[in-house]
């Protein structure tokens, strides 16, 4: 099961990773529904198998929902020396574990966008 990929902004790295709105509903379906505004610790494995714990927060206001990763995510981003323009892929595996992969911007090009679309990532941004 795939959720999203995202090209990171400076706010994503320094403060919190905002979950793309078109991927939010699918992610929420896989987690316990606490209703309204709530946070849940989400265990996530990186490419090397190291486990991280991201605080995943959901907010609902005026018919809009927002979600983001905060504590744990910022530590992960710093440990990887992520910067604006780098890309993350976030998904749930068949064994019900969550996985995150990173690509630094120097390695990123249009072929990666095509691969993401072929793998049915929910949030797809086109190459310029």
Chain position carrying tokens 């309204």:
36
Residue 6 falls in which region: left (phi positive, over 0), alpha (psi -120 to 50) or beta: beta
Mean pLDDT (the chain, rounded)? 77
Q: Convert the pLDDT of each residue in 60-97 to its tens digit.
A: 765 567 889 998 999 999 999 999 999 999 888 877 78
Give yes or no for residue 30 having a pLDDT over 90. Answer: no
- In the chain, where the domains are located: 2-118
Distance CA 28, CA 5 (A): 16
Distance CA 5, CA 55 (A): 18
Name the residue among 27, 43, 45, 125 with its Cα closest to residue 85.
Answer: 125
- The CATH number that domain 2-118 falls under is 2.40.330.10
Q: Are 13 and 83 in contact (CB under 8 A)?
A: yes
Pairing assessment for the beta strands 51-61 and 87-92 based on DSSP bridges: unpaired
Q: Convert the pLDDT of each residue in 54-68 to its tens digit.
A: 998 888 765 567 889
Distance CA 80, CA 12 (A): 13
């Amino acid at each position: 099961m795939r959720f999203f990929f995202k090209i990171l902004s400076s706010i994503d790295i320094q403060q919190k990773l905002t979950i793309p709105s078109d991927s939010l509903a699918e992610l929420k379906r896989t987690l316990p529904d606490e209703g309204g505004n709530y946070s849940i610790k989400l265990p996530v494995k990186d490419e090397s198998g190291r486990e991280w714990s991201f605080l995943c927060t959901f907010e609902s206001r005026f018919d809009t929902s927002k979600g983001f990763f905060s504590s744990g995510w910022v530590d992960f981003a710093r440990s990887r020396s992520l910067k604006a323009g780098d890309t993350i892929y976030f998904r749930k595996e068949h064994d019900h574990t969550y996985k995150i992969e990173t690509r630094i911007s120097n390695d990123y090009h249009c072929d990666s966008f095509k691969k993401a679309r072929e793998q049915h990532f929910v949030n797809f941004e086109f190459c310029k």
